[in-house]
Structure 1
């Protein structure tokens, strides 16, 4: 093997190969990005979508399993007001209630739009859209039992919804650019002129000039070792926003899904429990009776994840091990094969367990970010996080924070959030378009992207990206997971500071610009470290427990001091926090019990 220092003697220059011009450029091709693209294209705007993946249908929205929430009332009484209350209560009263009201109201329209586009939902015997129970979704402002609200297509709902939108976008003529890795925004103060990308296929940089730019790049679950998220979930949009001077909101709130396949993290949908599945400890007990006696397995995800972790820490994991059982055997083969076929397939292939005959080993898995790029209710990005709009820049989906989820997201509100606010983003872009402008591209528009790639390729270090990534993921898994405390968070701060030093000694042996997966992973690693830093400092700063943020050293919710949103600013000089009020319109904070 050649000496790494010899390989590093080669100096790489990254050229700007092409400049594209569109009315609207959308980074990301999941549910949020495609909904916005459809609305823009329907209005006659020249609309382009880009993805770093090989095809739009590989966007992570496709992994959603259980359903999308809407108060259709097809099978029993339900109202959008109930859905709104459940969303606000589930958020531990940190959700902005104007956004929660829009989510619950627009859900009904969204599901009907999907149906009219041809989405093949599962059906009732009468031909209506089938609905199942989901955690935290209940009747009569929480005074009743679980309600049938999750509209589903077996356990492949995300697959169905994403393909439906993609086909509609193709029909309308939306332009798609694949294997384009967005690296930096083109900005002029608080104005956005487009985005610069690395062309993974052909090498070199491309500048995309647009009046409106939408970030819809998803989350950053790959910062943890055990995660249900795709390999592409690496905080790309959040990183671009930070470097443009935009803060990130409520980053301390990251959700662990209760039921990830043990040692793999692959999602075992909440629909398993919605259909009547049990959670069982080593004593054979349905232990949720000790944590959420009324709602049991259908309590919100943060509560269930803490319960599972507590059982494991108390030595009641299966055979004393680090997992418990998800048991759906009693549902019978017919229900499992018709409503949960993918769960059975995944269990057999990845755990060697047939859930018709055996329980499934599960453990909480890193899943979803409630925080992100701050926006108004129409997806316009706040430059200061509060009141100043970043002209021409929008964000939607998991990368954004309209704060509809607050401190904890309810199941089935993710596909809904991406759909509702992606659509609203598209409508807002159409409305704003006449007042937007094509800003001139400066000679150094691609400078930031060029410097990032050249920095990585021209370093003469000895540490490989995967070594640093493993350190990041292990640290986040150990110290910034379901439970947190000051000692562990400070340990993670130390790890992050050490990783910043190691990044300057990183070594990438492949110096090519085409299909260089190691270069891609090195850039993604920088993005993940930035996101992990925001999460860790945010968790250390918030001295209370609320929703998915559970501090063992501050176990109680503190509305007097912490009923507010966190804004995290980061630049070369360091980081700082600012805050803004939670919007309360209908439901005032109360003790959160299930």
Structure 2
């Protein structure tokens, strides 16, 4: 992998499509499937083989008020999601998602997703944190599951459907940047073939970003190494904002010291968290629902137990997730993946021993701001949210916002499918109203210069020396800085220190030279592009978190411990130019249901 193309050539190889979908996880797959079904010429770009996209790692399930185990209602699901978001979620978006949920799950069933079944043949549903019946009265069983490999089942089924219909897929291609024409309109993407290092242009007036999260900004995380926030980096470089980047979910039960996810399904099936004294300590933090409180509550409880000296192990740096009281068949049939992870990475069989766990970075609640149709929006000079023509975002890279300050387990798979499908409907409607093919001329070098793409390619093209500071060490330093400064608990001092370190690391990155010897390895250039994205996202996170002087959901400040609805019931919008922050109000007005007024959040 060492071919270096001549990027000074006046022309790049180009292809034109009606729609480009960047990312082949559940969001991108669902959108591409809907568009291909409508007969549109679609290309899906993925930097890994599609079934290696991170949706494959989702374990516990997808939420829908089917009522197969307990009675349920979409409005109860809506209430739980709003409460779980610590009232930062937009209520019109949450209402829409919860109303669509049952249809989405039935659709998956028809696509061939092998859901686990109840004895009566209906889809199996398990209990998850933050779920309730009748607006908080009893525990609900709302999470539809395929054992503990639900994301794997969904992604493979969607991939098979796309293959059946003939969606064009660019496998192992990396999308570098958006290209805008000289009128400032979306015109295409610059992509790199990871196999041979060749660059080419994919032209389209409709681009949907479904690039997933960016958990790699933290050292301990549940994310795949591919989760480097590529879509977010593209958007920032295009002068557009990111929303609510201060909110990162730390999953309560990562494998201690390693980060891999132990699904909430383990607690949904009856698992109990215990401290070094053997106490089931969650009753002290969430007396009503105990281990099935929302994730931010459980993560803080675990961190507090460890900080106060009740952690387990020689270093007292984890707690135990105890499944040993469960029926052996339940663990083997309902949690086979969890058992495999525990055996593989810890040598612990959860049938016989508790699993050492500690919170780990899991999910990005913020992202590219969008409306209900997946259209990327940006405030104009009057503060009105105006759609960016031709640009869409869905899934974890987007912020609708249905998760607000904290996402409920089981809502991420629902989010990617609801809004992936909705964005595809919107794009299809736009294409049907356009006269003929989109107006696309071959893009010139002037267009590339305008978009900044050509300069970025040249930055990592070929260098003559190799500095002592390298990409790998810079990434590690960034991750440690973020973990120390912007973890489960934060304060002004820790975040300010992290910001200073990030600014120094950003300067160091600009001075890094890649190995030369005549060639630059493609994977080394790929790592450079990814690290540029991660650095930008880390800065967006810290700037946004420093400005929010309250504790809300996953943003937990030691120096501002209370939620402040008077001043902070609003979304942050971060622009990289000048590290500028602006704000917009949370939407508290659903379209059909009565609004849910913010109140104290207890479980």
Report the TM-score range of the alignment, normalised by the length of the smaller protein: over 0.9
Secondary structure of the 1:403 match is coil
Seen in structure 2, the aligned counterparts of structure 1 residues 14 and 126 have a Cα distance that, compared at 3 Å, is farther
Seen in structure 2, the aligned counterparts of structure 1 residues 287 and 174 have a Cα distance that, compared at 3 Å, is same
Q: What is the match of residue 50 of structure 2? A: 56
Q: What is the match of residue 344 of structure 2? A: 349
Structure 1 residues 456-491: Cα deviation after superposition (integer angstroms, max 9, x where no partner): 344545121011101000011111111100000000
Q: TM-score normalized by structure 1?
A: 0.95
Structure 1 residues 328-378: Cα deviation after superposition (integer angstroms, max 9, x where no partner): 111121001000001111101101101110000011010101111111101
Q: What is the match of residue 495 of structure 1? A: 501
Q: Is 2:600 the counterpart of 1:591?
A: yes
Seen in structure 2, the aligned counterparts of structure 1 residues 399 and 513 have a Cα distance that, compared at 3 Å, is farther
Residues paired across the two proteins, number: 581
CA distance in 2, matches of 1:162, 1:438: 34
Q: What is the match of residue 401 of structure 1? A: 399
CA distance in 2, matches of 1:37, 1:44: 11
Seen in structure 2, the aligned counterparts of structure 1 residues 510 and 329 have a Cα distance that, compared at 3 Å, is farther
CA distance in 2, matches of 1:501, 1:408: 33
Secondary structure of the 1:383 match is strand
Q: Is the 8 A contact 1:193 1:441 kept in 2?
A: no
Deviation at 1:13, TM superposition (A): 4.7
2:100 is aligned, of 96, 101, 106, to 106
2:179 is aligned, of 179, 183, 186, to 186
Q: What is the match of residue 475 of structure 1? A: 481
CA distance in 2, matches of 1:533, 1:168: 39
CA distance in 1, matches of 2:272, 2:312: 14
2:531 is aligned, of 520, 525, 531, to 525
CA distance in 1, matches of 2:510, 2:39: 47
CA distance in 2, matches of 1:169, 1:108: 22
Q: What is the match of residue 522 of structure 2? A: 516
Secondary structure of the 2:68 match is coil
Q: Is the 8 A contact 2:196 2:522 kept in 1?
A: no
Deviation at 1:510, TM superposition (A): 5.3
Deviation at 1:453, TM superposition (A): 3.0
Seen in structure 2, the aligned counterparts of structure 1 residues 18 and 334 have a Cα distance that, compared at 3 Å, is same
Q: Is the 8 A contact 2:174 2:191 kept in 1?
A: yes
Deviation at 1:450, TM superposition (A): 3.1
Q: Is the 8 A contact 2:272 2:323 kept in 1?
A: yes
Structure 1 residues 45-85: Cα deviation after superposition (integer angstroms, max 9, x where no partner): 001101011x1000000000000000000121000000000
After TM superposition, list the pairs within 5 Å mapping 1:421-500 onto structure 2.
421-435=419-433, 437-444=438-445, 445-447=447-449, 448-459=452-463, 460=465, 462=467, 463-500=469-506
Deviation at 1:245, TM superposition (A): 1.3
CA distance in 2, matches of 1:354, 1:469: 34
Deviation at 1:513, TM superposition (A): 7.2
Q: Is 2:305 the counterpart of 1:311?
A: yes
Q: Is the 8 A contact 2:5 2:198 kept in 1?
A: no
Q: What is the match of residue 201 of structure 1? A: 195
After TM superposition, list the pairs within 5 Å mapping 1:143-542 onto structure 2.
144-188=137-181, 191-319=185-313, 320-384=315-379, 386-435=384-433, 437-444=438-445, 445-447=447-449, 448-459=452-463, 460=465, 462=467, 463-509=469-515, 516-542=522-548
Mean Cα deviation higher: 179-188 or 414-423: 179-188
Q: Is the 8 A contact 1:328 1:359 kept in 2?
A: yes
Q: What is the match of residue 550 of structure 2? A: 544
CA distance in 2, matches of 1:494, 1:458: 29
Q: Is the 8 A contact 2:328 2:351 kept in 1?
A: yes
Structure 1 residues 379-414: Cα deviation after superposition (integer angstroms, max 9, x where no partner): 011133852111111000000011010100000000
Q: What is the match of residue 119 of structure 2? A: 125
CA distance in 1, matches of 2:361, 2:368: 19
Q: What is the match of residue 5 of structure 1? A: none
Q: Is the 8 A contact 1:347 1:355 kept in 2?
A: yes
Q: Is the 8 A contact 1:39 1:427 kept in 2?
A: yes
Q: What is the match of residue 7 of structure 1? A: none
CA distance in 2, matches of 1:149, 1:317: 32
Q: What is the match of residue 3 of structure 1? A: none
Q: TM-score normalized by structure 2?
A: 0.94
Q: Is the 8 A contact 2:461 2:520 kept in 1?
A: no
Deviation at 1:518, TM superposition (A): 1.7
2:21 is aligned, of 17, 26, 29, to 26
CA distance in 2, matches of 1:461, 1:383: 40
Secondary structure of the 2:175 match is strand
**What residue ranges of structure 2 are gaps of 5+ in the alignment?**
590-594
Q: Is the 8 A contact 1:202 1:513 kept in 2?
A: no
Q: Is 2:585 the counterpart of 1:581?
A: yes
Q: What is the match of residue 83 of structure 1? A: 77
Deviation at 1:451, TM superposition (A): 2.1
Q: What is the match of residue 44 of structure 1? A: 39
CA distance in 2, matches of 1:14, 1:368: 39
**TM-align CA RMSD:** 1.6
Q: Is the 8 A contact 2:179 2:453 kept in 1?
A: no
Seen in structure 2, the aligned counterparts of structure 1 residues 163 and 425 have a Cα distance that, compared at 3 Å, is same
Q: What is the match of residue 592 of structure 2? A: none
Seen in structure 2, the aligned counterparts of structure 1 residues 372 and 171 have a Cα distance that, compared at 3 Å, is same
